[in-house]
Chains A and B, each alone.
Chain A
Amino acid sequence: MLWARELTHAFGAIRALDGISFTLERGRTLVIFGPNGAGKTTLLRVLAGLVRPMRGSAGVEGGRRAIGWIGHQSQLYGHLTIRENLQFWGSLYDVLARDLERRQGELLSRLGLEARAGQQVRTLSRGETQRAAIARALVHDPAVLLLDEPFTGLDRLAAEELGALLGELAARGRATVLVTHDVKEGTDLASDVAFMRAGRFVEFGPRGTRDAAALTTAYREALRGA
């Protein structure tokens, strides 16, 4: 479904990725925890094909069409309405008009944006923009989700809603890679976890029965030992 082999990348003297390898099967959710500058975003960008690694390779079954991406920014056009944005992005992914209409309706309703659908994105609050960005990422029903700090800007209720939505998508066979620096945020979603530091996975494997507290302890120990 999703694989990375010996990924290595540097920005000048700074090594952002240092020989990262893993595979992720359908229905699995890998949550990557790491401090700022650990290389998490670079890893996602390489997986998405936005950055060509200096060494190694990565790929997604189904190619670019299969990827849904949520980054630090919404990737929405401020002067277009939410609906116009979804129309545009859905059309780029060749979603058929009738499917696009249905999909938009489902997403807008699920994300609580129905009343805002005709509003220009630049007039939305931070949380609403983030929810619109999630709708944009899911409009073509991607098989793989690459999520970079997706909870940023969401209030608690919206964050719980997003968690539930991601859980549903995993149950429907979507593979997800989520990166965050906050262990509490991603724990419940994770089937697999990785701790990342200085471009390397210092730990990688199934989460098992560990809860947020146990993972926080493991995370601290792993980073201290790295």
Chain B
Amino acid sequence: MRELMRHTWLIARKDLQLEFRSRTALASAFVFTALVLVIFEYGRDPTAVPTIDLAPSILWVTFSFAAMLGLNRAFQAELENQALDGLLLAPISRTSLFWGKLTANLVFVALVQVVGVLLFILFFNVPVWRVWLPFLLVCALATIGFIAVGTLFSAMVVRTRFAELMLPVLLLPFLLPPLIAAVAITVKLFAGRPLSESAGWLRLLAGYDLAFVSLTTLLFPATVTE
């Protein structure tokens, strides 16, 4: 297990180092997040729909699409000089390779979410700080499962001709359950309702994470073996 965690960390650290050096996906995700929030800010009529009702949907749609920019990049770096062959040849388990990629993707999405929330507070004036702890929990629960599915699909489509198009097409159906749950919980949190009122949705998110992290970990070796 120690070996597994060490190799996972090595892969994740390398991926993050590459991303912070090139900043390609991170910059795109930040710009995308800012752009979407600005458009929604100026494109809505606060007298027609109250901000508090609209804000959770805007926030989660922004997070989801920004995350896809990061997921697209997850295996792209491994194709550049066929580094993926080197990783598959190295004496590390496929699980540590997958978890390493998953960890790097989660850090990437977390960074985008932090910037997104700050811009969201700025534009929409929603008091997120009042519910920051339960909101953090919802963000974590809603993100882990679908990033796991996204990491698996990213590995599957990276060798196809239209990888950047294929990934959202494959991922969107799997994104719906956590997205709906996250929006439902966030609506209640922003309305000042206690987290306990969303226990059902939280259980769904936890179940989704458990099921899909396990399933994707099991399926990943088959996607990278010729």
Interface residues of A, Cβ cutoff 8 Å to B: 45, 48-52, 63-65, 67, 69, 71-80, 84, 88-89, 91-94, 120-121, 136
Contacts and interface: CB of A to CB of B under 8 A. Distances in A.
Interface of B: 3, 7, 10, 14, 17-18, 21-22, 77, 80-83, 85-92, 225-226
Contacts, number: 69
A52 B88 CA distance: 13
A75 B81 contact: yes
A89 B17 contact: no
B14 A79 contact: no
B18 A67 contact: no
B91 A88 contact: no
The DSSP consensus for interface residues of chain B is: helix
A78 B80 contact: yes
Contacts of B87: 92
Nearest to B82: A73
Given A67-B89, A72-B82, A94-B91, A77 B77 contact: yes
Nearest to B19: A79
B18 A80 contact: yes
B90 A75 contact: no
Given A51-B226, A80-B17, A92 B82 contact: no
Nearest to B80: A78
Nearest to A66: B91
A74 B226 CA distance: 20
A51 B82 CA distance: 14
B21 A76 contact: no
A76 B92 CA distance: 17
